[in-house]
Amino acid sequence: MLPTKISIIGAGSASFGMNTLVSLMRSQLLRGSHLALVDQNQQSLDLIGRLAFRLNHDWGANMTISTHSHHNQALEGSQFVILSIETSPREALWRQDFQIPLKFAIRQPYAENGGPGGFAHSIRNIGPVMEIVDQMEQVCPQAWLINYTNPMMRICDAVARYSSIKIIGLCHQIMVGYATIGKVLAQDLDIEVSDEFINTSATPTLIPLKRQVARQTLEKIEIKAAGLNHFTWLLEVHDKHTGEDLFPLFLKRWHSHNPFFEPLTRKVFTALGVFPITGDEHLSEYLPWVSDPLTKPWEKFDLSLYDWDAWETAREQGYRDIQNLIKSQLPVDQLTNTDSEGAVEIIENFIGEGNYLSQAVNLPNRGFITNLPQGAIIEVPALIDGSGVHGVGVGELPEPVAELCRREITVTRLCVDAAIHGDRQAALQCLLLDPVVNDLDLAQIILDEYLDAYRQYLPQFWK
C-alpha cells in the first residue's frame, strides 16, 4: 500500500488541520504519499496549503500535495479519509443550541455532545458527513474513514449503520485522564504541575497546562479505560515500566486531594464506585443530575460553559500564527513537537503492518464490552495492524455505569435515525429520553424551535 493517498476533509482548521498535517508530513513511513487537503473555506484552505508546500520542501517529505474546495474532487483513489468538519458558523450555532432550550428553563451543562444541544449538533453534521460517505462508497469504497467530527458517537453510528464504509473514531479526551492522574500523583511520579492547572475545562489558557501534565504522565503510567466517547471510565492504571498497579495509590491520594478539583467527578466516583476520566464538563453532558433549575447543580459543581468568544478569538490567532510562519523565513523545526491527533499512528500501522495499541478508539461493539448492545459505538483500546482494527475486550462495565451508557446508546440511535430519515417522531423520542429533558411538552417545543431555527441545514425534516 506504500505510498498511499490520504484525504483530509476539514484541513483548513487552525488547530486540527495543522496538527494533522504536521504529524503526517514528518512521518518517515509516509514519505512519497499523496495528501489531498479539502476545505470549503477557500481562505483557510489556501493558508494550510501554503504551509503544506513549505513543510514538504523543508522536510524533504517528497509528498504530492493537492488542495480542493470540495470532497468530490479529492476522494478518488484515497486509502484513508480523515474527517473533521463542522457546520459553520461553529461558535454561533453552538451558542444557539444552548440558548434555545434556555428560553424554556432547560439549562444544559455544555450542549455539544449530549443534551438537546447534542441533538441539534448531530442533525446538522450528519447530513454533510453522509454526503462524503456516499461519495466514498462510489470512488474509494475500501478506504478507512478516520473520524474526529463531533458528536463522535453519533457520527460514527450513522456511518456504521447506514453505509458500508469502515469507520473508526479518534478522540484525545483520554488525555484528560492522564492529566488528572498526573496532577493527583504528581509528587509520587515526579511530575511538574502548574498551580494554574485548577480544573480540566476546555479553555484556551488551561489546555496547554493540561497537555504539559498529560505528556509527562503518559511517559510513566498506562491507563485502561472504556465506555462511550466523552463518557469513559477508568478500569486500570499501571506503572508503564514496572507494571505496578497504581490504583490503590491513586485512590489514597485522591481522597486527600483538593476537594474543589473536579467536584462532579468526585461525587460520581463516590456514588458509583467507578472513576470517570473525561473531566467534569463532558461528564456532565450525559448525567441526569446536573440540570435542575431549582438546585442549580452547575453552580454547586462549578460547571463552566464552552467559552465561544474565547475560542473564536483563539482560532483567529491560530490563522495569524500560520500566516506569520509562512511569511517569515524562520525554520519550521518548532512544529516538530506538535501533538499528533492520532491518525498518523493508525495509518502507519495499517500500511506498515505494525502492531500499535491505541488507547481510545470508537468502533462498533463486537463483544468488547459485554453488557452493552452489540453494534453500538463504544470507546475501548484497540490494536492496529496490517489486517485492521481489533478492539480489546474489557468484559462488563459495572452495572450502574452500563445502564447510563445504555441510555445514551438509545438516545444516539434515535438521533441518528431521525437525522437520516427526517423522522420527527424519532427526534422527539430522542429528546424525551435525554437526561436533560424533563417535560413532555417542552421536548416538543424545543424540537420545533430547533427544526425551525436550522431549517436551511435540515431539508430532510421539511419534505
The candidate with the shortest Cα–Cα distance to 121, out of 141, 146, 142, 91, is 91
- Count of C-beta atoms within a 10 Å radius of residue 142: 10
Residue 19 has what pLDDT? 87
Cα 273 from Cα 138, distance rounded (Å): 48
User: Domain for residue 44, yes or no?
Assistant: no
The pTM of the whole model exceeds 0.75: yes
- Where does the pLDDT of residue 18 fall: very low under 50, low under 70, confident under 90, or very high at 90 and above? confident
DSSP state of 346: H
Cα 287 from Cα 323, distance rounded (Å): 42
- Summarised one tens digit per residue, pLDDT across range 325-376 is 888 766 777 777 777 788 999 999 998 878 999 999 999 999 999 999 999 9
The candidate with the shortest Cα–Cα distance to 418, out of 112, 122, 167, is 122
Q: Kindly state the cell numbers that stand for 328.
A: 517569515
User: Domain for residue 267, yes or no?
Assistant: yes
CA atoms within 13 A on the CB side of 397: 30
pLDDT higher than threshold 60 for residue 1: no
Cα torsion 41, 46, 52, 55: sign: negative
The candidate with the shortest Cα–Cα distance to 286, out of 229, 201, 234, is 229
- For residue 143, give Cα distances in angstroms to 1, 14, 136, 243, 309: 12, 26, 8, 37, 37
The residue range of the domain holding 213 is 174-300
Number of domains in the chain: 1
User: Domain for residue 129, yes or no?
Assistant: no
User: Domain for residue 211, yes or no?
Assistant: yes
**418-429 burial, b for 16+ CB within 10 Å, e for fewer?**
bbbebbeebbbb
Environment class of 408 (CB within 10 Å of its CB; exposed 0-12, middle 13-18, buried 19+): buried
User: Domain for residue 243, yes or no?
Assistant: yes
Q: Please provide the average confidence, as pLDDT, over all residues in the chain.
A: 94
User: Domain for residue 151, yes or no?
Assistant: no
pLDDT higher than threshold 70 for residue 50: yes
Cα 261 from Cα 279, distance rounded (Å): 10
User: Domain for residue 225, yes or no?
Assistant: yes
User: Domain for residue 325, yes or no?
Assistant: no
User: Is residue 149 within a helix (H) or strand (E), and if so which, with residue range?
Assistant: none
